[in-house]
Protein backbone atom coordinates (compact mmCIF):
# COMPACT_ATOMS: atom_id res chain seq x y z
CA UNK A 1 0.00 0.00 0.00
CA UNK A 2 2.99 2.30 -0.10
CA UNK A 3 3.04 4.55 -3.11
CA UNK A 4 4.25 7.81 -4.54
CA UNK A 5 2.07 10.61 -3.07
CA UNK A 6 1.64 11.88 -6.60
CA UNK A 7 -0.13 8.73 -7.80
CA UNK A 8 -3.14 9.15 -5.52
CA UNK A 9 -2.27 6.19 -3.30
CA UNK A 10 -2.30 6.29 0.49
CA UNK A 11 0.76 5.29 2.46
CA UNK A 12 0.42 3.16 5.60
CA UNK A 13 0.24 6.11 8.01
CA UNK A 14 -2.24 8.17 5.99
CA UNK A 15 -6.02 8.38 6.11
CA UNK A 16 -8.75 9.97 4.03
CA UNK A 17 -10.36 11.06 7.32
CA UNK A 18 -9.66 14.38 9.00
CA UNK A 19 -12.03 13.44 11.88
CA UNK A 20 -13.85 10.11 11.62
CA UNK A 21 -16.01 10.87 14.69
CA UNK A 22 -17.94 13.37 12.54
CA UNK A 23 -19.62 10.36 10.90
CA UNK A 24 -20.77 8.73 14.14
CA UNK A 25 -24.55 8.66 14.64
CA UNK A 26 -24.32 10.41 18.05
CA UNK A 27 -22.14 13.29 16.77
CA UNK A 28 -23.70 16.70 17.49
CA UNK A 29 -22.56 19.26 14.88
CA UNK A 30 -21.57 22.77 15.95
CA UNK A 31 -23.79 24.27 13.26
CA UNK A 32 -27.15 22.59 12.79
CA UNK A 33 -28.82 23.65 9.58
CA UNK A 34 -32.40 23.47 8.29
CA UNK A 35 -33.95 22.96 11.72
CA UNK A 36 -34.06 26.60 12.86
CA UNK A 37 -37.83 26.76 13.44
CA UNK A 38 -37.88 23.43 15.31
CA UNK A 39 -35.00 24.55 17.54
CA UNK A 40 -36.82 27.81 18.29
CA UNK A 41 -39.99 25.89 19.25
CA UNK A 42 -38.00 23.64 21.58
CA UNK A 43 -36.21 26.66 23.09
CA UNK A 44 -39.61 28.26 23.74
CA UNK A 45 -40.68 25.15 25.66
CA UNK A 46 -37.44 24.90 27.64
CA UNK A 47 -36.97 28.62 28.38
CA UNK A 48 -39.02 28.60 31.65
CA UNK A 49 -36.52 26.06 33.05
CA UNK A 50 -33.72 28.62 32.73
CA UNK A 51 -35.77 30.92 35.00
CA UNK A 52 -36.27 28.20 37.60
CA UNK A 53 -39.78 27.18 36.50
CA UNK A 54 -41.13 23.94 35.06
CA UNK A 55 -40.46 23.69 31.30
CA UNK A 56 -43.42 23.16 28.98
CA UNK A 57 -44.10 19.54 28.09
CA UNK A 58 -43.46 18.79 24.42
CA UNK A 59 -44.06 16.07 21.84
CA UNK A 60 -41.45 15.91 19.07
CA UNK A 61 -42.49 13.83 16.06
CA UNK A 62 -41.02 13.05 12.66
CA UNK A 63 -39.62 10.23 10.52
CA UNK A 64 -36.28 8.60 11.50
CA UNK A 65 -33.15 10.58 10.66
CA UNK A 66 -34.71 14.05 10.64
CA UNK A 67 -32.69 15.66 13.44
CA UNK A 68 -34.98 15.16 16.45
CA UNK A 69 -32.43 13.62 18.80
CA UNK A 70 -29.64 15.95 17.66
CA UNK A 71 -31.85 18.99 18.35
CA UNK A 72 -32.66 17.83 21.87
CA UNK A 73 -29.02 16.96 22.60
CA UNK A 74 -27.86 20.34 21.31
CA UNK A 75 -30.31 22.32 23.45
CA UNK A 76 -29.71 20.15 26.53
CA UNK A 77 -25.97 20.73 26.13
CA UNK A 78 -26.53 24.50 25.98
CA UNK A 79 -28.82 24.40 29.03
CA UNK A 80 -26.25 22.48 31.09
CA UNK A 81 -23.47 24.88 30.06
CA UNK A 82 -25.41 28.09 30.75
CA UNK A 83 -27.83 27.24 33.59
CA UNK A 84 -28.34 24.95 36.60
CA UNK A 85 -31.07 22.98 34.83
CA UNK A 86 -30.56 19.22 35.07
CA UNK A 87 -31.19 17.46 31.76
CA UNK A 88 -31.59 13.74 31.17
CA UNK A 89 -32.03 12.01 27.83
CA UNK A 90 -33.42 8.48 28.21
CA UNK A 91 -33.07 6.09 25.26
CA UNK A 92 -36.39 4.23 25.56
CA UNK A 93 -35.27 1.65 23.03
CA UNK A 94 -32.89 0.47 25.78
CA UNK A 95 -34.84 1.60 28.87
CA UNK A 96 -38.37 0.60 27.94
CA UNK A 97 -40.06 0.31 31.36
CA UNK A 98 -41.04 2.92 33.93
CA UNK A 99 -38.52 1.53 36.42
CA UNK A 100 -35.71 1.59 33.83
CA UNK A 101 -36.56 5.20 32.89
CA UNK A 102 -36.39 6.32 36.52
CA UNK A 103 -33.20 4.32 37.11
CA UNK A 104 -31.59 6.34 34.29
CA UNK A 105 -32.88 9.59 35.85
CA UNK A 106 -31.59 8.47 39.27
CA UNK A 107 -28.16 7.82 37.76
CA UNK A 108 -28.07 11.34 36.33
CA UNK A 109 -29.22 13.02 39.54
CA UNK A 110 -26.92 11.11 41.92
CA UNK A 111 -24.03 10.25 39.55
CA UNK A 112 -24.24 6.56 40.40
CA UNK A 113 -26.61 3.74 39.48
CA UNK A 114 -29.37 2.68 41.88
CA UNK A 115 -29.10 -0.81 43.44
CA UNK A 116 -29.98 -3.46 40.85
CA UNK A 117 -32.51 -5.04 43.24
CA UNK A 118 -34.24 -4.43 46.53
CA UNK A 119 -35.38 -0.85 45.95
CA UNK A 120 -39.05 -0.23 45.16
CA UNK A 121 -40.18 2.18 42.48
CA UNK A 122 -41.80 4.37 45.12
CA UNK A 123 -38.51 4.72 47.01
CA UNK A 124 -36.53 5.30 43.80
CA UNK A 125 -38.98 8.00 42.71
CA UNK A 126 -39.01 9.57 46.18
CA UNK A 127 -35.22 9.86 46.36
CA UNK A 128 -35.08 11.58 42.95
CA UNK A 129 -37.85 14.05 43.81
CA UNK A 130 -36.42 14.80 47.27
CA UNK A 131 -33.00 15.59 45.79
CA UNK A 132 -34.54 17.93 43.17
CA UNK A 133 -36.44 19.81 45.89
CA UNK A 134 -33.43 19.88 48.21
CA UNK A 135 -31.15 21.31 45.47
CA UNK A 136 -33.95 23.51 44.05
CA UNK A 137 -33.19 22.03 40.60
CA UNK A 138 -35.39 21.96 37.52
CA UNK A 139 -35.35 18.61 35.69
CA UNK A 140 -35.91 18.34 31.92
CA UNK A 141 -36.36 14.74 30.76
CA UNK A 142 -36.28 13.71 27.09
CA UNK A 143 -37.89 10.32 26.48
CA UNK A 144 -36.17 9.55 23.18
CA UNK A 145 -37.91 6.92 21.05
CA UNK A 146 -40.83 7.12 23.48
CA UNK A 147 -42.72 4.81 21.10
CA UNK A 148 -40.87 1.89 22.73
CA UNK A 149 -42.60 2.70 26.04
CA UNK A 150 -45.93 2.44 24.21
CA UNK A 151 -44.97 -0.90 22.66
CA UNK A 152 -44.37 -2.25 26.19
CA UNK A 153 -47.51 -0.57 27.63
CA UNK A 154 -45.34 1.45 30.01
CA UNK A 155 -45.82 4.97 28.60
CA UNK A 156 -48.82 6.08 30.67
CA UNK A 157 -47.32 4.95 34.00
CA UNK A 158 -43.91 6.52 33.26
CA UNK A 159 -45.40 9.84 32.15
CA UNK A 160 -47.93 9.92 34.98
CA UNK A 161 -45.14 9.62 37.55
CA UNK A 162 -43.07 12.36 35.90
CA UNK A 163 -45.97 14.75 35.40
CA UNK A 164 -47.40 14.30 38.90
CA UNK A 165 -44.03 14.60 40.66
CA UNK A 166 -44.87 18.09 41.96
CA UNK A 167 -48.08 16.80 43.58
CA UNK A 168 -46.39 13.97 45.46
CA UNK A 169 -43.36 16.14 46.32
CA UNK A 170 -44.11 19.84 46.66
CA UNK A 171 -41.50 21.93 44.89
CA UNK A 172 -40.40 19.27 42.39
CA UNK A 173 -40.17 20.86 38.93
CA UNK A 174 -40.12 18.39 36.02
CA UNK A 175 -40.81 18.87 32.30
CA UNK A 176 -40.95 16.13 29.67
CA UNK A 177 -40.04 16.00 25.99
CA UNK A 178 -41.42 12.91 24.22
CA UNK A 179 -39.56 12.10 20.99
CA UNK A 180 -41.21 9.65 18.58
CA UNK A 181 -40.23 8.36 15.13
CA UNK A 182 -43.38 6.26 14.76
CA UNK A 183 -45.72 8.40 12.66
CA UNK A 184 -48.56 5.89 13.06
CA UNK A 185 -48.49 6.46 16.83
CA UNK A 186 -50.62 9.28 18.21
CA UNK A 187 -48.75 9.92 21.45
CA UNK A 188 -51.49 11.90 23.18
CA UNK A 189 -54.44 9.72 22.11
CA UNK A 190 -52.68 6.51 23.20
CA UNK A 191 -52.15 7.75 26.76
CA UNK A 192 -54.55 7.09 29.66
CA UNK A 193 -57.07 9.86 30.32
CA UNK A 194 -55.40 10.52 33.71
CA UNK A 195 -52.20 11.42 31.83
CA UNK A 196 -53.90 13.32 29.02
CA UNK A 197 -55.49 15.68 31.55
CA UNK A 198 -52.10 16.90 32.82
CA UNK A 199 -49.84 16.46 29.78
CA UNK A 200 -51.18 19.04 27.26
CA UNK A 201 -47.90 19.29 25.33
CA UNK A 202 -46.51 21.67 22.76
CA UNK A 203 -46.01 19.83 19.46
CA UNK A 204 -42.95 20.13 17.22
CA UNK A 205 -42.81 18.31 13.88
CA UNK A 206 -39.60 17.42 12.02
CA UNK A 207 -40.29 16.74 8.31
CA UNK A 208 -37.97 14.80 6.02
CA UNK A 209 -35.09 16.83 4.60
CA UNK A 210 -35.49 17.69 0.93
CA UNK A 211 -32.72 16.83 -1.54
CA UNK A 212 -31.05 20.28 -1.41
CA UNK A 213 -30.99 20.16 2.40
CA UNK A 214 -29.53 16.63 2.33
CA UNK A 215 -26.74 17.77 -0.02
CA UNK A 216 -26.02 20.80 2.17
CA UNK A 217 -25.82 18.78 5.41
CA UNK A 218 -23.75 15.97 3.89
CA UNK A 219 -21.36 18.44 2.23
CA UNK A 220 -20.71 20.16 5.53
CA UNK A 221 -20.23 16.81 7.30
CA UNK A 222 -17.82 15.67 4.54
CA UNK A 223 -15.81 18.92 4.79
CA UNK A 224 -15.37 18.40 8.52
CA UNK A 225 -14.72 14.67 8.34
CA UNK A 226 -12.57 14.21 5.22
CA UNK A 227 -9.35 15.82 4.09
CA UNK A 228 -9.61 18.27 1.18
CA UNK A 229 -10.21 16.66 -2.20
CA UNK A 230 -11.29 13.24 -0.87
CA UNK A 231 -14.97 13.55 -1.92
CA UNK A 232 -15.79 15.02 -5.32
CA UNK A 233 -19.06 16.64 -6.44
CA UNK A 234 -20.25 13.58 -8.42
CA UNK A 235 -19.64 11.29 -5.45
CA UNK A 236 -21.43 13.67 -3.06
CA UNK A 237 -24.40 13.80 -5.43
CA UNK A 238 -24.54 10.01 -5.48
CA UNK A 239 -24.48 9.86 -1.66
CA UNK A 240 -27.28 12.46 -1.53
CA UNK A 241 -29.34 10.58 -4.13
CA UNK A 242 -29.15 7.32 -2.15
CA UNK A 243 -29.86 9.15 1.12
CA UNK A 244 -32.97 10.82 -0.31
CA UNK A 245 -34.09 7.41 -1.62
CA UNK A 246 -33.88 5.95 1.89
CA UNK A 247 -35.49 9.01 3.51
CA UNK A 248 -33.10 8.81 6.46
CA UNK A 249 -30.17 11.22 6.88
CA UNK A 250 -28.41 8.68 9.10
CA UNK A 251 -28.07 6.43 6.06
CA UNK A 252 -26.16 9.21 4.26
CA UNK A 253 -23.85 9.87 7.20
CA UNK A 254 -23.06 6.18 7.58
CA UNK A 255 -22.62 5.97 3.81
CA UNK A 256 -19.96 8.70 3.83
CA UNK A 257 -17.97 6.86 6.49
CA UNK A 258 -18.19 3.46 4.79
CA UNK A 259 -17.30 4.96 1.40
CA UNK A 260 -14.21 6.50 3.02
CA UNK A 261 -13.26 3.14 4.51
CA UNK A 262 -13.71 1.53 1.07
CA UNK A 263 -11.37 4.10 -0.47
CA UNK A 264 -8.80 3.35 2.23
CA UNK A 265 -9.17 -0.36 1.54
CA UNK A 266 -8.09 0.41 -2.02
CA UNK A 267 -5.29 2.64 -0.64
CA UNK A 268 -6.87 5.51 -2.57
CA UNK A 269 -6.78 9.19 -1.60
CA UNK A 270 -10.21 9.77 -3.15
CA UNK A 271 -13.66 8.20 -2.92
CA UNK A 272 -15.16 6.82 -6.13
CA UNK A 273 -18.82 6.32 -7.07
CA UNK A 274 -18.15 2.57 -6.86
CA UNK A 275 -16.99 3.05 -3.24
CA UNK A 276 -20.32 4.77 -2.52
CA UNK A 277 -22.45 2.13 -4.27
CA UNK A 278 -20.64 -0.71 -2.51
CA UNK A 279 -21.02 1.03 0.87
CA UNK A 280 -24.76 1.48 0.31
CA UNK A 281 -25.26 -2.28 0.42
CA UNK A 282 -24.56 -2.03 4.16
CA UNK A 283 -25.57 1.55 4.96
CA UNK A 284 -29.12 1.03 3.70
CA UNK A 285 -29.68 -1.28 6.66
CA UNK A 286 -28.89 1.34 9.33
CA UNK A 287 -32.53 1.35 10.52
CA UNK A 288 -32.66 -2.47 10.54
CA UNK A 289 -29.45 -2.73 12.59
CA UNK A 290 -30.66 -0.13 15.06
CA UNK A 291 -34.05 -1.81 15.49
CA UNK A 292 -32.51 -5.26 16.00
CA UNK A 293 -30.10 -3.94 18.66
CA UNK A 294 -33.04 -2.88 20.83
CA UNK A 295 -34.82 -6.26 20.84
CA UNK A 296 -34.98 -8.71 23.74
CA UNK A 297 -33.78 -12.32 23.29
CA UNK A 298 -37.30 -13.63 22.67
CA UNK A 299 -38.06 -10.85 20.17
CA UNK A 300 -34.80 -11.54 18.34
CA UNK A 301 -35.67 -15.25 18.33
CA UNK A 302 -38.95 -14.56 16.52
CA UNK A 303 -37.20 -12.39 13.91
CA UNK A 304 -34.71 -15.23 13.33
CA UNK A 305 -37.53 -17.77 13.01
CA UNK A 306 -39.32 -15.55 10.49
CA UNK A 307 -36.11 -15.19 8.48
CA UNK A 308 -35.56 -18.95 8.49
CA UNK A 309 -39.20 -19.76 7.68
CA UNK A 310 -39.74 -16.97 5.17
CA UNK A 311 -42.95 -17.43 3.22
CA UNK A 312 -44.32 -20.22 5.43
CA UNK A 313 -47.71 -20.21 7.17
CA UNK A 314 -48.09 -18.35 10.46
CA UNK A 315 -48.85 -21.64 12.23
CA UNK A 316 -45.50 -23.18 11.39
CA UNK A 317 -43.75 -19.93 12.38
CA UNK A 318 -45.42 -20.03 15.81
CA UNK A 319 -44.53 -23.72 16.28
CA UNK A 320 -40.86 -23.03 15.49
CA UNK A 321 -40.88 -20.00 17.82
CA UNK A 322 -42.49 -22.00 20.65
CA UNK A 323 -39.98 -24.80 20.21
CA UNK A 324 -37.10 -22.33 20.42
CA UNK A 325 -38.33 -20.20 23.34
CA UNK A 326 -41.01 -22.28 25.12
CA UNK A 327 -43.23 -19.14 25.09
CA UNK A 328 -46.98 -19.35 24.55
CA UNK A 329 -49.24 -17.86 21.89
CA UNK A 330 -50.19 -14.74 23.88
CA UNK A 331 -46.56 -13.62 24.20
CA UNK A 332 -45.94 -14.58 20.57
CA UNK A 333 -48.83 -12.37 19.48
CA UNK A 334 -47.57 -9.44 21.60
CA UNK A 335 -44.12 -9.70 20.02
CA UNK A 336 -45.59 -9.84 16.51
CA UNK A 337 -47.50 -6.61 17.25
CA UNK A 338 -44.34 -4.89 18.51
CA UNK A 339 -42.27 -6.01 15.48
CA UNK A 340 -45.08 -4.75 13.24
CA UNK A 341 -45.03 -1.34 14.95
CA UNK A 342 -41.24 -1.22 14.52
CA UNK A 343 -41.54 -1.88 10.79
CA UNK A 344 -39.55 -5.11 11.02
CA UNK A 345 -42.46 -7.30 9.91
CA UNK A 346 -45.59 -6.86 7.83
CA UNK A 347 -48.86 -8.46 8.90
CA UNK A 348 -52.02 -8.97 6.95
CA UNK A 349 -55.36 -10.51 7.78
CA UNK A 350 -57.08 -12.69 5.19
CA UNK A 351 -60.14 -14.92 5.05
CA UNK A 352 -59.14 -18.60 5.04
CA UNK A 353 -61.81 -21.08 3.96
CA UNK A 354 -63.08 -23.06 6.91
CA UNK A 355 -60.90 -21.14 9.41
CA UNK A 356 -62.19 -17.57 9.33
CA UNK A 357 -59.70 -14.70 9.50
CA UNK A 358 -56.03 -15.65 9.65
CA UNK A 359 -53.01 -13.39 10.02
CA UNK A 360 -50.04 -13.79 7.70
CA UNK A 361 -46.66 -12.50 8.87
CA UNK A 362 -43.64 -11.69 6.73
CA UNK A 363 -40.34 -9.91 7.22
CA UNK A 364 -40.12 -6.37 5.89
CA UNK A 365 -36.52 -7.10 4.81
CA UNK A 366 -34.79 -9.86 2.86
CA UNK A 367 -33.96 -12.76 5.23
CA UNK A 368 -30.23 -12.75 4.44
CA UNK A 369 -29.29 -9.28 5.82
CA UNK A 370 -31.54 -9.90 8.84
CA UNK A 371 -29.79 -13.17 9.74
CA UNK A 372 -26.37 -11.62 9.06
CA UNK A 373 -27.07 -8.90 11.64
CA UNK A 374 -28.56 -11.27 14.20
CA UNK A 375 -25.70 -13.76 13.94
CA UNK A 376 -23.02 -11.07 13.56
pLDDT tens digit sequence for 247-291? 899 999 999 999 999 999 999 999 999 999 999 999 999 989 989
**97 marked ligand binding residue:** no
- pLDDT for position 1: 37
| CATH 1.10.10.10 domain position(s) in the chain | 295-375
What is the chain's mean pLDDT, rounded?
A: 92
The CA distance from 339 to 327, in Å, is 16
Mean pLDDT of 337-350: 87
Strand 356-363 to strand 345-352: parallel, antiparallel, or no bridges (unpaired)? antiparallel
Say whether 269 counts as a known binding-site residue: no
pLDDT, average across residues 324-341: 93
Domain 36-205, what architecture? 3-Layer(aba) Sandwich (3.40)
Domain 295-375 belongs in CATH node 3.20.20.330? no
**Is 209 marked as binding a ligand?**
yes
State the pLDDT confidence band at 3, using cuts at 50, 70 and 90.
very low
Bigger pLDDT: 8 or 166? Answer: 166
Residue 353 has pLDDT above 80, yes or no: no
Q: What is the CATH number of domain 210-284?
A: 1.10.8.60
Distance CA 309, CA 323 (A): 14
Write down the pLDDT at residue 30. Answer: 85
Directed axis angle between helix 211-225 and helix 249-265, to 10°? 40
* Cβ atoms of residues 294 and 94 within 8 Å: yes
pLDDT, average across residues 95-100? 96
Say how far apart CA 176 and CA 259 lie, in whole Å.
Answer: 39
Contacts of residue 78, Cβ cutoff 8 Å, sequence gap at least 6? none
Q: What is the pLDDT of residue 75?
A: 97
CATH 1.10.8.60 maps onto the chain at 210-284
Q: Kindly state the average pLDDT of the residues 174-199.
A: 95
68 labeled binding residue: yes
Predicted TM-score (pTM) of this structure: 0.90
The least confident of 2-11, 63-72, 144-153, 307-316 is 2-11
Q: Is 325 annotated as a binding residue?
A: no
Going by pLDDT thresholds of 50, 70 and 90, the confidence category of residue 347 is confident
The predicted model gives 129-152 an average pLDDT of 96
Amino acid sequence: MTGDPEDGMLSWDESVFRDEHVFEIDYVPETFRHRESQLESLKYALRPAARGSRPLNTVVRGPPGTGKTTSVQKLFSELRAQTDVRTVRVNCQVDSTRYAVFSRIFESVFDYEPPSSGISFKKLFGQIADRLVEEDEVLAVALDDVNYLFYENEASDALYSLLRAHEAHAGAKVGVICVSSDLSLSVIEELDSRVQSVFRPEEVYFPKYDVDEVVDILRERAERGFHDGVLGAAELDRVAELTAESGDLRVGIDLLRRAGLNAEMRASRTISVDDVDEAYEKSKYVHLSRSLRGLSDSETALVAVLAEHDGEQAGSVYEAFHERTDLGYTRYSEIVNKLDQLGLVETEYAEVEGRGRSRSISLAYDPEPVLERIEG
